[in-house]
Amino acid sequence: MGKNFRTTKRLLACAFLFVMALCASATGQEGDVIIIDGERWNLLGKPIDHDSVLYHRLLEVLPKDRSINTANWDGYRGYWNIKDNRLCLDHIEIERYDKDKKRSHVENIPAADIRKVFGKYYQQKEIVATWFTAEIRAAKGNTLYYVHSGYYRNLEYEQLLTIQKGKVTNRQTYHNRVVLSYGFSLSDIKDEAEIKRLFPLHTQNYPELAGVKRILITISNIRLDARGNLVDCDVRVTPLGQTNKKKENIQGLAQEMKTLLKKIRPWKTLYINGEYVSTLNHDSTSFAYELEQPKPASAKEEVFDKDYFEEMPEFPGGMEKLIQFIEENTHLPKCVTDGKVQGRSVIQFVVDTDGSLSDFKVVRSLHKDCDAEAIRVLKLMPRWKTTKRMKKPMKYTVPVQFRKPVSQK
Burial of 225-247, coded b for 16+ CB within 10 Å and e otherwise, reads eebbbbeebebbbbbeeeeeeee
Determine the 3-state secondary structure of 348 from DSSP: strand
Tell me what the mean pLDDT of segment 69-84 comes to. 92
Report domain extents, the chain: 17-175, 180-295, 319-408
- Structurally, what CATH architecture does the domain formed by 319-408 represent? 2-Layer Sandwich (3.30)
Cβ-contact 43, 168 below 8 angstroms: no
Instruction: Give which of 239, 200, 198 is closest to 217, Cα–Cα.
Output: 239
Query: For residue 3, is pLDDT > 70?
Result: no
User: Model confidence over 191-208: pLDDT tens digits?
Assistant: 888 888 889 998 888 888
Determine the 3-state secondary structure of 129 from DSSP: coil
Is the omega angle on the peptide bond into residue 266 within 30 degrees of 0, that is, cis? yes
Q: Structure pTM? A: 0.64
Query: For residue 210, is pLDDT > 90?
Result: no
44 contacts: CB under 8 Å, gap ≥ 6 = 31, 136, 137, 138, 139, 151, 153
Q: What's the chain's length in residues? A: 409
Q: Give dist(CA 319, CA 387) in Å, integer.
A: 16
Q: Give dist(CA 118, CA 24) in Å, integer.
A: 24
Query: For residue 158, is pLDDT > 50?
Result: yes
User: Model confidence over 230-279: pLDDT tens digits?
Assistant: 999 999 999 987 554 556 788 899 999 999 999 888 898 999 999 998 87
